[in-house]
Amino acid sequence: MNRILSSRSKLNATREANARRARSRMLIQVGGIVKLSGLFPICQIEEGEDLQYDIDSRDKAALLLGILLDAAHNISDPPDAAQMETWRASGTRLLKQRAAQTAYQKGR
């Protein structure tokens, strides 16, 4: 009986760890997307800043959040399909440009 409980506990711990890793990966990816958007320079956010504990950086984090809240607030509910496609195309273009730039720099 103890082996079954131990195995079940290990399985649950593994599932929880996998879920945390997946969540962390997604959050890192979202951070990369926000960086690509060009909002970091607007908010004067430098890589490596601690946006949570550094008092000066908290203002920068608040500014970034305000920009994102404003954008979210101004999107109609439900979002217009044509506008969604425009945003998707714009994002796809930037992602392709970045991929081409990265490939070019690796080929040098």
- Summarize pLDDT for 14-55 with one digit per residue, the tens: 889 999 999 999 999 999 999 999 999 999 999 999 999 999
- Residue 38: DSSP 8-state: T
Amino acid (one-letter) located at 37: S
pLDDT value at position 6?
79
Number of domains comprising the chain: 1
**Residue of 70, 79, 75, 74 lying closest to 43 (CA atoms):** 70
Identify the domain containing residue 79 by its residue range: 2-107
Does position 4 have pLDDT exceeding 80, yes or no? Answer: no
pTM (2 d.p.): 0.75
